[in-house]
Structure 1
Amino acid sequence: MSNLLEPEQKKRPGEPRDWNETARHLKSALAVIVSLAVLVGGGLFAYNKIGGAVAGAFVAEDYPGPGEADVEVDIPQGSTLDEIGSILVDADVIQSTRAFNEAVRETPNANSLQAGTYTLKTKMPAREALQAMLDAGIKGGKRFLIREGLRLSEQVAELSKQTGIPEEAYNEALKNPDAYGLPVMAKGNPEGFLFPDTYEMAGNDPNNALKQMTANFTRKANEIQLEARAAELNRDPMEIVVVASIIEAEVRRPEDRAKVARVIYNRLEGKPPMKLQMDTTVEYAVNKPRGTGATTSDAERANPSPYNTYVHEGLPPGPIAAPGKAALEAAANPEEGSWKYFVAINLDTGETAFADTFDQHQANVRKFQQWCQQNPGKC
């Protein structure tokens, strides 16, 4: 027999209960229950403390209002709601973009917010700022559309017609480029830098319109990386805008824009360089009215204006019209090719023929002349 005791003695049937052992089990169970209670209670306490801190961290920072000093805020054309929130934060109208985003989610018509210039207050609650902008856009807003290819004088006439602000007021405002944010590359000349688009403004200050248009130009220039592309082409950014303005005036079909850009650069970079000889630059030089013919006269082409590319080599000193984004993109990204000439051979469709040599070009010119003979009054 083994002289070792069994590790656990089992109670035989009928044997009396060992109350000391039972008490020990009860005390152990009670200790476990108490430990759990302390643990759960402490956890709840910690959860409440931590949860409160976490919730506080996610509460959007927002000004209590009602607002302090008046401030004008410009919302560029094409701005997203996220971008608008950032603009309002930068102007200290609202405290955080998170508060603005919450206001947007809770406002059913937030997506109807328009680009424009708004008079708000600093340190406004985000919901009140958003509603003030929506109200301004609904009450008394002036919507205007400026199409591509207009000269500055034509843009001013359209602005006056559509906003009810006299042309004289716009022309006076244009004399102060800093007031409406004319890009530095413009060198003080707003021609070509009032971006064509649809806008909405409030009030009767012409700068409210001009600021939106120059801001939109800067936005589009950044989108196409105009300055970087200009450097790659060994051109000044202003030269890209000038080329784009010629493209806007010369080209009707989208597929021809980058080809015309290449013709211009090939002429400028030829050995020796060639004069551009663009009729549209002559029309600008002599301020020829629209719709008075597709060609220019010998007398017009002899005009000494620096914008006349029949007389002067190189590009004109500035844009001849306001280019849209597609023309800017084409000027910044010319198509590869050896063309040095182009001519529209169908003014109804805008069909354009390109040529490498003068003889090829002359053959295309005869096609244009033939079209003009078949369509009297259109050339």
Structure 2
Amino acid sequence: MLGEDPYRRGRRSSGHADRRAVDRRQADRGPDGRHPDGYPEDGYHEDGYPPEGYADDPHARDPRVDSRGDRRVGDRWRDHRGAGGHEPRDDAEDWDDGWDGDGDGDGEERRGRALPKLIAVLLLVAVLVGVGIFGIGKVIGRVSGGGYTSADYPGMGEGIAVVQVPDGATARQIAVELQDADVTASVSAFVKAASANPKSLGIQPGTYRLRSRMSAEAALAALLDPASSAPFKFVIKEGMTVRQVLQGLHERLGTPLSELEAIARSPAQLGVPSYAPTLEGYLFPSTYDLDPGSTPVQLLTSFVTRFKKETASIGLETKAAAIGVKPAEIVTIASIVEKEVANASEGPQVARVIYNRLHDTTGRFRRLDMDSTTRYAEDEYEGPLTRDQLNKANPYNTRAVASLPPGAISNPGIWALKSALEPADGSWLYFVSMPQSKVTRFAATSEEWAALRAQYLAEGGKE
């Protein structure tokens, strides 16, 4: 590169030439600072050393020159002698391989100058790697539903998808169920939608009929809509009979009624308590989730299992023993209370009337005389009972048969069971539910009962 000094001034030489040689060369210069042969003073020199730059220390080495006389331009090394001993080419930088040359540790300055370039290269690599990870993350996120993005389907979806929400499930657990069923595109999309909607805390456990490929917000709205779970919900209302429960299962599942009735006639296979004489009274009233894969036996067993759980929580067997009543009798009394009482708060008083009649020593009540037990036997729950029905001899006609019927007449709720276990204190022997006021009145004497009866008729009650 003519006209340009490839070696910067002010550097120390390797110390192989003495000061006299330098002075001699300086004396050879012309008035213009050039050598007689035409080479510029700043050009190449016959001994391979720069014209200036000697330090006081004759042993100090020029970091641009190695032990063989190799020099470098900028941060690149080249052989001063060139190939075959010729002078080096001005384009030596083009073929320089960036190597230190002699491995003697004299490349510190080169490495110092190369450091910014190295940092730049590393930064470039880091950026490229980051972009790659970002791109891969987006792909994985859209495929798996996790990661950086929240992949989501548009719209309300299509077809039908059945999803179960476990009891006590978190938003993320629900999101996993939805993604596994291909209802939503990703876990994160549903979690985001649920976090933004406080109503999501009201999602109930159970089975839901949704659509495939729904947006996360649409799926959340469907889970909050009772209609989505209605096809899989089955309700046993307080006071329902086994017959009514079986009819409901038949209508919901399509299972032949005769098959369900055959199962009910063998209650032991359903796990009823050992003291239960029949299945009646042991299907606990509640709302149940109908698992599409469950058999009728499994469903009925779940109703019985719930009864055992709830009665254990109130200590039914222990409290029954404490008042001298058998557990099965508690269930039967509770089932009568369930059918006779208009309001749950009146249950303990009605239970006391039943106990008072069972233990009456005056002779006025040798029987319970409860219409509800006769209605159960006749499967007749609307309108007045006929004289023939009231006089018919059957184990459940408490007008004709003394003491309690042989079993429960309905499936009582927890309040009725508690009423049977903890009856109110009182001497009542009569009660009647008023047709208009919808309250139950109680009487202890015949005179009080006559007044209540007159009020009952005045409100439109029938004999």
Q: Give, in angstroms, the shift of residue 227 of structure 1.
A: 0.8
For 1:165 and 1:281, locate their aligned partners in 2 and report how far apart those are by CA, in whole Å. 29
What is aligned with 1:284?
A: 376
- Equivalenced residues, count: 247
Q: Give, in angstroms, the shift of residue 113 of structure 1.
A: 7.7
The reply to whether residue 307 of structure 1 matches residue 375 of structure 2 is: no
Structure number with the bigger relative contact order (C-alpha 8 A, sep ≥ 6) is: 1
What is aligned with 1:174?
A: 264
Aligned pairs for 1:141-220 (under 5 A) are 142-187=232-277, 189-202=278-291, 203=293, 205-220=295-310
Q: Percent identity?
A: 32
Q: Give, in angstroms, the shift of residue 319 of structure 1.
A: 0.5
For 1:319 and 1:79, locate their aligned partners in 2 and report how far apart those are by CA, in whole Å. 31
Q: Give, in angstroms, the shift of residue 310 of structure 1.
A: 0.6
Sort the Cα spacing of 1:314 and 1:153 in 2 relative to 1 into closer, same or farther, 3 A: same
Letter in 2 for 1:201: L
What is aligned with 1:130?
A: none
Q: Give, in angstroms, the shift of residue 141 of structure 1.
A: 7.9
What is aligned with 1:318?
A: 407
What is aligned with 1:231?
A: 321
The reply to whether residue 240 of structure 1 matches residue 330 of structure 2 is: yes
Using the size of structure 1 for normalisation, the TM-score is 0.60
Sort the Cα spacing of 1:139 and 1:301 in 2 relative to 1 into closer, same or farther, 3 A: closer
Q: Give, in angstroms, the shift of residue 221 of structure 1.
A: 0.8
The reply to whether residue 263 of structure 1 matches residue 320 of structure 2 is: no
For 1:139 and 1:300, locate their aligned partners in 2 and report how far apart those are by CA, in whole Å. 42
Letter in 2 for 1:291: E
Sort the Cα spacing of 1:269 and 1:143 in 2 relative to 1 into closer, same or farther, 3 A: same
Sort the Cα spacing of 1:140 and 1:315 in 2 relative to 1 into closer, same or farther, 3 A: closer
What is aligned with 2:455?
A: 367
Q: Give, in angstroms, the shift of residue 114 of structure 1.
A: 4.0
Sort the Cα spacing of 1:254 and 1:110 in 2 relative to 1 into closer, same or farther, 3 A: closer
For 1:371 and 1:113, locate their aligned partners in 2 and report how far apart those are by CA, in whole Å. 43
For 1:318 and 1:335, locate their aligned partners in 2 and report how far apart those are by CA, in whole Å. 23
For 1:143 and 1:161, locate their aligned partners in 2 and report how far apart those are by CA, in whole Å. 13
For 1:316 and 1:270, locate their aligned partners in 2 and report how far apart those are by CA, in whole Å. 17
Whether contact under 8 Å (1:243, 1:331) holds in the other structure is yes
Whether contact under 8 Å (2:168, 2:205) holds in the other structure is no
CA RMSD of aligned residues (A): 2.8
How big is each residue's C-alpha offset from its partner over 1:91-118, in whole Å with a ceiling of 9 and x where there is no partner?
Answer: xxxxxxxxxxxxxxxxx999968479xx
How big is each residue's C-alpha offset from its partner over 1:35-83, in whole Å with a ceiling of 9 and x where there is no partner?
Answer: xxxxxxxxxxxxxxxxxxxxxxxxxxxxxxxxxxxxxxxxxxx9878xx
Whether contact under 8 Å (1:276, 1:309) holds in the other structure is yes
Whether contact under 8 Å (1:143, 1:162) holds in the other structure is no
If you compute each CA radius of gyration, which structure gives the higher value, 1 or 2? Answer: 2
For 1:302 and 1:139, locate their aligned partners in 2 and report how far apart those are by CA, in whole Å. 46
Report the 3-state secondary structure (helix = DSSP H, G, I; strand = E; otherwise coil) of the residue aligned with 1:266.
helix
